[in-house]
Amino acid sequence: MSIDDARSIARSRSGESLAEQIRRKGLTPITSVDELRADVWDSDHELDAFLSFFRLSRNADLSHP
């Protein structure tokens, strides 16, 4: 992909560049990883169950070429 390709992808349907969209929306850069934190799980048990499922499914995918 060339820089020109990347620039055309960064333009919205209205013709705004990504930088123009960011300015229009008043967005600011993330300054701390804590801003990305979200309380998704109601309990540690739910998180552990999800991680176990994820590990099992990932390992299953690795065992099949």
Mean pLDDT of the chain: 81
CA distance 18 to 39: 29
Q: What is the pLDDT of residue 57?
A: 86
Specify the pTM.
Answer: 0.39
- pLDDT tens digits for 18-32? 888 889 899 999 999
DSSP 2-17: -HHHHHHHTS-TTS--
What is the number of residues in the chain?
A: 65
pLDDT digit string (tens) for 46-62?
Answer: 999 999 999 988 887 66
- Report how far apart, in Å, the C-alpha atoms of 55 and of each of 23, 49, 51 are: 40, 10, 6
- 14/41: higher pLDDT: 41
